[in-house]
Structure 1
């Protein structure tokens, strides 16, 4: 035994056998600072297991949890003109778009889908706050119109999950025009007698709150979500007064009559199923009639012991 055997060889072996450890295995909770394992956090629908803080959830992950067995079909949205104002701040608008698409893996800030929730077929739209703050541009306006038209065509309810920082400044007045366009789309549902349910998530602010996010037949919000037009800091600086604790949060707005319900994310699907079936004049959901967590093919596979029995 010598220093080569005792030191050099183990050192060489450790260098060649070292595994790369992914950097995204842990997520820090914004509210309590707890470090959460990614798999445990994902299974809990991005809700902190320590303080129950509701973190951001992408539209695709939200739809996977919402629709029966995670099965849904995307609704195509017309693509608007790219960079109509040739806007540039620190970066060119097309560069910002490409960066957002690369980081999120999505084409834009809203996803529209159709599928079944508790045996009730619906059209759903959800905003992605990680895509340029979920800002409302021409694409988002087109997405809401496409969702409303699909709902009217198929005679289905529309459920919208809002999460936005307001209008997209890179599109200027064109982004503000999406407020009346979306309002007209919601009126199409009204005239067709179809339910429109809004689920407000953290944060929903600006022109989104001033238009389609507050026009639902039923207004639901996730716990402690910031819902406002102008933020608390702006209001405090304007009126020069200290605002009440929890001002413009879900629970505050519920107490003051602006919301119908505040529902935990894990209970959201059951809540929506009950409301949708009631508004569409269907009988209450029966637990045994709801889809199984696994597909039917997996359910009928015989046990291993039975398969081996001669």
Structure 2
């Protein structure tokens, strides 16, 4: 009987409510307003950074620019005319996935290739310009990049104009093999013809300028300028150290190191670059 009474015993349940946790009111910050500096690690307000030509006002670190941004900073407003448009890379070695990668980069960068060429004015001085863009396969030099730069140099030769080339590249494009390496000779030959006509050729080395680009047109300028702390070299640091079995200086392959060794004529801050180029072009005209 006791067991039956327990079965029908009324059970009382007490609902225990958890104390609600205080909600922390955090401010909502939209994405893309802040940028971390790769030089000093500080967080920078994006608008301030862009107003300062993408140079950190704390440590002077020069962020990489797109080709369009570079042209906007250097060429006088309303004077730039693009040339050699519509040249498209092929896949001469049938490299697996190369064509798909090129098409994807075209969509994401809104570029046809890793260099933009054209002509315009710098502080009212006419000039032909070629600007490489690291977003497109690290600015690597394939057959189209070499062809566009060659045509730009030939255009400058034909029109008796100086040319300025902004380099930013990982070197020759491995997906095109020997076709990429041939561009080193082709661009150099065009520059030689430009030089024989007594015309001015200025290179501006930006971070990074390496490989086959360094071994060809990048170092053939009558005047070679560089942005601060830019990486400039041919082979990689580790490859050189393993080859010579020695440690290299910490600033090896930096613009400041190359200036000391006579490979770079002058290091110019981005804020002073347009004025410097304008003066050089004006002196050449006079």
Scaled by the length of structure 1, what TM-score is found?
A: 0.80
Residue 67, structure 1, aligned to residue 75, structure 2: yes
Other-structure match for 1:205: 210
CA distance in 1, matches of 2:85, 2:40: 38
- 1:18-29 aligned at under 5 Å gives the runs 22-29=30-37
Residue 170, structure 1, aligned to residue 175, structure 2: yes
Contact 1:78 1:142 in 2 (8 A): no
Contact 1:195 1:280 in 2 (8 A): no
- CA deviations 1:161-203 (Å, max 9, x no partner) are 0000000011111000000000011012112221000000000
Other-structure match for 1:13: none
Residue 108, structure 1, aligned to residue 110, structure 2: no
CA distance in 1, matches of 2:78, 2:219: 27
Residue 87, structure 1, aligned to residue 66, structure 2: no
CA distance in 2, matches of 1:144, 1:22: 40
SS of 1:219 mapped into structure 2: strand
Deviation at 1:80, TM superposition (A): 4.8
Deviation at 1:76, TM superposition (A): 2.0
Structure 1: which 5+ runs fail to align? 1-18, 282-310
Deviation at 1:87, TM superposition (A): 0.2
What do you get for the CA RMSD once the two structures are aligned?
Answer: 1.9
Deviation at 1:239, TM superposition (A): 2.0
CA distance 1:65–1:108, shift in 2 (3 Å):
same
Other-structure match for 1:306: none
- 1:96-135 aligned at under 5 Å gives the runs 96-135=101-140
> Residue 139 of structure 1 is aligned with which of 137, 144, 167?
144
> Residue 58 of structure 2 is aligned with which of 50, 53, 56?
50
- CA deviations 1:266-290 (Å, max 9, x no partner) are 1001111111111222xxxxxxxxx
SS of 1:166 mapped into structure 2: coil
Other-structure match for 1:150: 155
Q: Larger Cα Rg: Structure 1 or Structure 2?
A: 2
| Runs ≥4 residues deviating over 4 A | none
CA distance 1:69–1:77, shift in 2 (3 Å):
closer
SS of 1:159 mapped into structure 2: strand
SS of 1:68 mapped into structure 2: coil
Write 1 or 2 for the structure with the bigger share of helix.
1
Scaled by the length of structure 2, what TM-score is found?
A: 0.87
SS of 2:41 mapped into structure 1: coil
Contact 1:221 1:263 in 2 (8 A): yes
Deviation at 1:260, TM superposition (A): 0.6
- CA deviations 1:75-122 (Å, max 9, x no partner) are 12462551121101xxx0011112222221111100012111111000
CA distance in 2, matches of 1:262, 1:81: 34
> Residue 40 of structure 2 is aligned with which of 8, 32, 42?
32
CA distance in 1, matches of 2:193, 2:259: 27
Deviation at 1:153, TM superposition (A): 2.3
